[in-house]
Structure 1
Amino acid sequence: MEGRLEQAAALGQKDKGPAFISLINEIISRSDQSTVARDIPTLVGFVVNQESVGLVVGRQVLSELVRIVGDGTISDPEVRKRVVQETIETTQPKIVSYEEQVSNLRFQLADIYENEEEWSDAARVLMGIQLDSNQRSLPDGEKMRVYVRIVRLLLEEEDSVQAESYFNRAQLLVHSTTDKETLLQFKLCQARISDYSRKFLEAASRYHELSFVADIDEEERRHMLMAAVTAAVLAPAGPNRSRVLASLYRDERTTELPTYNILSKMFLDHILRPAEIKEFEGTLKPHQLAKIAISSNDRVATSTNDEEIDTPSDPPISTRTAPATVLDRAVMEHNLLASSKIYHNISFRGLGALLDLTPGAAENMARKMIEQGRLRGTIDQVDKLIWFEGNHEEDDAQGKAGGLGEVEEAEDTGAPFTKRWDAQIRITAANVESIVQHLTERGLVRVPVQA
């Protein structure tokens, strides 16, 4: 092999390139493919490192090798992978001179790894491509395509932290492309990163939006719709989640999903039972079952009201001091809101039995939701009661989650006209009574004295 390479290098400058390329074709066409992965890197090393060959010839030879490998001339996939890997390693020290050729080889190697579902290896190969350099600069649209591909591969490996870093780079270039496929992949990555970051409301909205895009395969759209339902169920309970749940509940396609039962129960403010939660838990991904830690402040708060005297009629006290997972927290907050639709008040102990928490932990959860505006009510720590505010019948008619009062976006939700008419009469009568009382206090109206 060395002798053939020396002969080719001794030829005139115009003949060197064709001679080396002819030798590449000869090596690849051998019946014994096991020698290809050995001899091609040897040839590349000779062409790249021998000064007698020259930079122009070296680029010509490497460009032709990239084309030949890309055309699938090497039939054995394992041999093809080794050829690309070793060619990149051999050329890497001379990356400044052969940047374009090495970048193309990296794209090919990433394709190979992706076909083998080696997501992290594929992402790492793409990260090694110099997208901004003095020798070669890619258009912004092409850079964004590479960044989005890296994000997608990292998310397949569930490396959401590094994926978010590359997503932020892609976000800066989103205006630079009009390619539909790239933009759709970008939006999908955006939804998935929100999902991994536990921004479930945002993720649900983005998944639901993508589920309507006709350019996406029907099975993929169904998968995104199911992801939207899952994210909505895991989102923090409150009026914002209620709006997302309403949008999904009204989507006729959700009735065919295995998660429709829990979606309907959450939308209708029904209390969820352990068997239903267990069934839904089986559909979740690992990051959606992540453990959540309890802070030291919450630990103190949960133990404040747990010393109570048992009576035979009292429900048993749970030993759990906080939700263990994201799903636990979502279900407990939902059941707390659902109980506000059923009861005017509830004891700490009774709420703890409903949520499977200690009384102090149940009070702490209610307190947080009231502070955050996701639940309307008051806490009586003397009598150990939580009072829920608002007219429950009206709240149900108007679709106001957790009795949160006037939620402007949810005013007109198709409530029966008779109920709305009755509500207007009550409001008008109350206003008239207030005016009459005000006039009477000023002595402008005399109340007749009955005999």
Structure 2
Amino acid sequence: MEAKLAEYASLNQKDKGPAYTSLIPQILSQADPNAVAKDLHSLVDTVVNQDSVGLVVGRQVLTELVKVLGEGAIKDSELRKRVVEETLETVQPRIVSYEEQVNNLRFQLADLSEEEEDWSGAARVLMGISLDSGQRTFADADKLKIYVRIVRLLLEEEDSIQAETYYKRAALLVHSTTEREILLQFKLCQARISDYGRRFLEAASRYHELSYVGEIDEEERRHMLLAAVTCAVLAPAGPNRSRVLASLYRDERSAELPTYNILSKMFLDHILRSAEIKEFEGSLKPHQLAKVAISSNDRLASASHDDGPAASNEPAASTRTGPATVLDRAVMEHNLLASSKIYNNISFRGLGALLDLTPGAAETMARKMIEQGRLKGHIDQVEKLIWFEINGDEDDAQGKAGGLGDVEEAEDTGAPFTKRWDTQIRLTAAHTESIVQQLTQKGLLSLVPTSA
């Protein structure tokens, strides 16, 4: 090979391109992988780094090599990856002159790394592509594809912080394409970014929306629906979560999910038990089990209450001063909200026993939820009681059912929201009957008897 390279170096400039290019199929036809890699490295080094060869010839030969590699001339993926990496390393000092060829090689290397499930490696290779300078300027739609792919790869590696950086870049370009596949990938990245960022309510809504898209594989849609339920369970308790839970609970596909039991209990405002939580916890990802930091003020407030000795009918106080994980917090807030449907009031100590918290920590959690509008009630610190407002406007939880508007006669039965839905339907039917009777009495409507 060295002899041929030296021989071709003495040719006229116009003959060097075809001569060097003719060496590529000869090198690839060799049986020894090491010989193939070595000879290709020598060829690339000669045409790129020898000043006597010239830039035009170098680009011509390198373009042909990139083309045959992309067409699968090397079947062995390990050898192909080695050749691509060594070629990139050789060209790196003169990358400005061979930017288009280098970018194509990076795409090939990213594909090879992704096939090996080296997610972070593939992402780093794509990050090295120059999108805005040099010989080729990428269109906005092409930049969007690259950014979305980088985000997807980083999320596979659970590097959500760096993924969010590239997601923000993609968000600025999402208007540049109408390609359905890219838009769906972007929306999925959007949902996963919200999930990793612990914006669980937003993530649940996005996952649920994607689970209805017909272009997505049925198994993938089921997986997205499962992710939507998981995020909804982990979301902060309150009216907004109740709306999302209602939407998921009424989705007939949810009944087939392994998390349906906890979904139904949360929607129906049932108190969750530790055994149920333990089973659900096993299905969570590491970021969904992240530790929760308790502020020094909350820790002080949680530990400062001393209710004195427990009464004979009250349980002993817990020693926990707050939730330990994201799941722990979601369950405690749900149980607190569920208890407001059961009791008119509850003592700090009683709520602490229910939530497995100190009385002070239970009061702190209730106070925060009341301040944020997620729980209706007030706190009597003299009597050490939390009073729940049981006659509040329940429309905050699920909105006006069926678009019926205000139903003033609706009675507060304390039932779950599915029963309140039935109540509103019953009242609407009664109102309709009343209107028909009034129109009939005024002669504006005549009823035609029907035969049995």
Fold-level match, TM-score > 0.5?
yes
Question: Judging changes above 3 Å, is the alpha-carbon distance between structure 1 residues 35 and 421 closer, same or farther for their aligned structure 2 residues?
Answer: closer
Report if aligned partners of 1:399, 1:410 keep a CA contact under 8 Å in 2.
Answer: no
Q: Which amino acid aligns with 1:240?
A: N
Q: CA deviation at 1:422?
A: 12
- Percent identity of the aligned residues? 72
Which position in structure 1 is the counterpart of 2:68? Answer: 68
Report if aligned partners of 1:237, 1:337 keep a CA contact under 8 Å in 2.
Answer: yes
Q: Which amino acid aligns with 1:339?
A: S
Which position in structure 2 is the counterpart of 1:304? Answer: 304
Which position in structure 2 is the counterpart of 1:172? Answer: 172
Q: Which amino acid aligns with 2:423?
A: P
Which position in structure 2 is the counterpart of 1:185? Answer: 185
Measured in 2, the distance between the counterparts of 1:293 and 1:12 equals: 72
Which position in structure 1 is the counterpart of 2:213? Answer: 213
Matched, 1:142 2:142: yes
Q: CA deviation at 1:43?
A: 1.1
Query: What secondary structure sits across from 1:416 in the alignment?
Result: helix
Q: CA deviation at 1:14?
A: 2.5
Measured in 1, the distance between the counterparts of 2:134 and 2:117 equals: 33
Measured in 2, the distance between the counterparts of 1:420 and 1:296 equals: 51
Report if aligned partners of 1:400, 1:410 keep a CA contact under 8 Å in 2.
Answer: no
Report if aligned partners of 2:147, 2:170 keep a CA contact under 8 Å in 1.
Answer: yes
Report if aligned partners of 1:188, 1:210 keep a CA contact under 8 Å in 2.
Answer: yes
Measured in 2, the distance between the counterparts of 1:70 and 1:263 equals: 49
Which position in structure 2 is the counterpart of 1:108? Answer: 108
Root-mean-square deviation (CA, aligned residues, Å) is: 1.9
Which position in structure 1 is the counterpart of 2:195? Answer: 195
Question: Judging changes above 3 Å, is the alpha-carbon distance between structure 1 residues 352 and 76 closer, same or farther for their aligned structure 2 residues?
Answer: same
Question: Judging changes above 3 Å, is the alpha-carbon distance between structure 1 residues 171 and 50 closer, same or farther for their aligned structure 2 residues?
Answer: same
Report if aligned partners of 1:306, 1:358 keep a CA contact under 8 Å in 2.
Answer: no
Answer with 2-11 or 406-415: which moved more.
406-415
Matched, 1:234 2:234: yes
Which position in structure 1 is the counterpart of 2:407? Answer: none
Map 1:307-318 onto structure 2 (within 5 A): 307-318=307-318
Measured in 2, the distance between the counterparts of 1:286 and 1:101 equals: 40
Which position in structure 2 is the counterpart of 1:252? Answer: 252
Deviations 1:246-302 (A, max 9, x none): 000010001000000000000000000001000110110000000011001111111
Q: CA deviation at 1:399?
A: 6.6
Matched, 1:414 2:418: no
Deviations 1:224-257 (A, max 9, x none): 0000000000000000000000000010001000
Which position in structure 1 is the counterpart of 2:437? Answer: none
TM-score with structure 2 length normalisation?
Answer: 0.89
Q: Which amino acid aligns with 1:336?
A: L
Measured in 1, the distance between the counterparts of 2:301 and 2:36 equals: 70
Report if aligned partners of 1:237, 1:334 keep a CA contact under 8 Å in 2.
Answer: yes
Give unmatched runs, 5+ long, in structure 2.
Answer: 405-419, 432-452
Which position in structure 1 is the counterpart of 2:438? Answer: none
Which position in structure 1 is the counterpart of 2:39? Answer: 39
Q: CA deviation at 1:303?
A: 1.4
Deviations 1:48-94 (A, max 9, x none): 01111111111111111011111111121111100000100110111
Deviations 1:294-340 (A, max 9, x none): 00111111112135213332202111110000000000000000000
Query: What secondary structure sits across from 1:244 in the alignment?
Result: helix
Deviations 1:409-442 (A, max 9, x none): 7975633258748999xxxxxxxxxxxxxxxxxx
Question: Judging changes above 3 Å, is the alpha-carbon distance between structure 1 residues 343 and 421 closer, same or farther for their aligned structure 2 residues?
Answer: farther
Question: Judging changes above 3 Å, is the alpha-carbon distance between structure 1 residues 358 and 341 closer, same or farther for their aligned structure 2 residues?
Answer: same
Measured in 1, the distance between the counterparts of 2:342 and 2:97 equals: 74
Which position in structure 1 is the counterpart of 2:153? Answer: 153
Which position in structure 1 is the counterpart of 2:376? Answer: 376
Which position in structure 1 is the counterpart of 2:49? Answer: 49
Report if aligned partners of 1:201, 1:231 keep a CA contact under 8 Å in 2.
Answer: yes
Report if aligned partners of 2:204, 2:231 keep a CA contact under 8 Å in 1.
Answer: yes
Question: Judging changes above 3 Å, is the alpha-carbon distance between structure 1 residues 242 and 118 closer, same or farther for their aligned structure 2 residues?
Answer: same
Answer with 1-10 or 158-167: which moved more.
1-10
Which position in structure 1 is the counterpart of 2:444? Answer: none
Q: Which amino acid aligns with 1:415?
A: D
Q: CA deviation at 1:42?
A: 1.7
Q: Which amino acid aligns with 2:104?
A: N
Report if aligned partners of 1:205, 1:228 keep a CA contact under 8 Å in 2.
Answer: yes
Measured in 2, the distance between the counterparts of 1:270 and 1:95 equals: 63
Query: What secondary structure sits across from 2:104 in the alignment?
Result: helix
Measured in 1, the distance between the counterparts of 2:19 and 2:321 equals: 77
Query: What secondary structure sits across from 1:237 in the alignment?
Result: coil
Report if aligned partners of 1:103, 1:130 keep a CA contact under 8 Å in 2.
Answer: yes
Which position in structure 1 is the counterpart of 2:450? Answer: none
Query: What secondary structure sits across from 2:53 in the alignment?
Result: coil
Answer with 380-389 or 30-39: which moved more.
30-39
Q: CA deviation at 1:3?
A: 1.7
Question: Judging changes above 3 Å, is the alpha-carbon distance between structure 1 residues 222 and 407 closer, same or farther for their aligned structure 2 residues?
Answer: closer
Deviations 1:342-381 (A, max 9, x none): 0000010110111011110000000000000000001011
Measured in 1, the distance between the counterparts of 2:18 and 2:278 equals: 67
Query: What secondary structure sits across from 2:382 in the alignment?
Result: coil
Which position in structure 1 is the counterpart of 2:327? Answer: 327
Give unmatched runs, 5+ long, in structure 1.
Answer: 425-451
Question: Judging changes above 3 Å, is the alpha-carbon distance between structure 1 residues 170 and 409 closer, same or farther for their aligned structure 2 residues?
Answer: farther
Report if aligned partners of 2:232, 2:245 keep a CA contact under 8 Å in 1.
Answer: yes
Question: Judging changes above 3 Å, is the alpha-carbon distance between structure 1 residues 407 and 74 closer, same or farther for their aligned structure 2 residues?
Answer: closer
- State how many pairs are aligned: 416
Report if aligned partners of 2:401, 2:421 keep a CA contact under 8 Å in 1.
Answer: no
Query: What secondary structure sits across from 1:386 in the alignment?
Result: strand
Measured in 2, the distance between the counterparts of 1:5 and 1:51 equals: 14
Report if aligned partners of 1:111, 1:122 keep a CA contact under 8 Å in 2.
Answer: yes
Q: CA deviation at 1:171?
A: 0.5
Measured in 1, the distance between the counterparts of 2:136 and 2:365 equals: 57
Which position in structure 2 is the counterpart of 1:128? Answer: 128
